[in-house]
Amino acid sequence: MLTPATIHRVVGAALEEDAPWGDLTSEALIPAEAVATADLVAREAGVLSGGGVFAAAFALTDPGVAVDVHVGDGDEFAPGDVLASVSGPARSILTAERVALNFAQRMSGIATLTAAYVRAVAGSRARIADTRKTTPGLRAFERHAVASGGGSNHRFSLSDAVMAKDNHLAVLTRSGVDTATALRAAIARLPHTAHVVVEVDRLDQIPAVLDGGAHTVLLDNFSVDDLRAGVALIDGRATVEASGGVDLDTVGAIASTGVDVISVGALTHSARALDLGLDLRIG
């Protein structure tokens, strides 16, 4: 998902946003011939994501800036660890600093939070997955960060899979079409590779969804007891996904019910940016 073309496009736009007519401060104060070395230093423990994005911010600002990333995406680090080093024209380093840090801090925060969820379900069959609750324009970056933290990616977009949610089912009901019939007709029209997910919020909706041939049944905002009942009712005939009401205090109990996937919107919409700093040395 996080291709070089995507990095170039999004990071380039961020740099343009931050310095549309150049970096007035650096150009006014810093001699053109000044060079510098800077270290990306962790102020707290975490999991790195976005090392390549961090490097791209400097490369797109000035190809003369060299970046050496010391820690790979998905690697854990401790406070005080040097994660990357940057050297080259001081003006260019100062110009790219904020954008580079914004991406590294945001992505590493997501990776670190995801890793905490993955640890919380260790020993269960459940995978931790993200959702489409991402920052507009940054989905590929945030999804990459989830993967860095050991999580799984849900469908990337509306074009990737069929996912019938409560509002889709409500429209069908108002149209007088039963769920099983609508699903069977849809599956007959779809490519054989298309995955079909149906969200339910009550146990009594499950039989019709299974009858319709859904590949995944998403149990939305179910209690732990109802999740267990849902897993038993589905009995291996579809992948079971749980969503809603998931946080670090509840995810372990949810995983214990036997669900296959736990989707967590908080991974991307509520992750705190990690505290990383760029310590500069003028040479």
Positions marked catalytic: 98, 133, 165, 199, 220
Q: How far apart are CA 200 and CA 223, in angstroms?
A: 13
Rounded to 5 degrees, φ, ψ at 192 are -65, -15
DSSP 271: P
Question: What would the DSSP string read from start to end of 167-194?
Answer: HHHHHHHHTT--HHHHHHHHHHHS-TT-
In DSSP terms, which residues pair with 243 in a beta bridge? 220, 263
In DSSP terms, which residues pair with 262 in a beta bridge? 128, 242
Residues with Cβ within 8 Å of 25's Cβ and at least 6 positions away in sequence, in order, are 94
Q: How far apart are CA 155 and CA 102, in angstroms?
A: 25
C-alpha torsion angle, residues 128, 133, 134, 135 (rounded to 10): -150
Residues with Cβ within 8 Å of 233's Cβ and at least 6 positions away in sequence, in order, are 203, 206, 207
The count of other CB atoms within 10 Å of the CB of residue 37 is 16
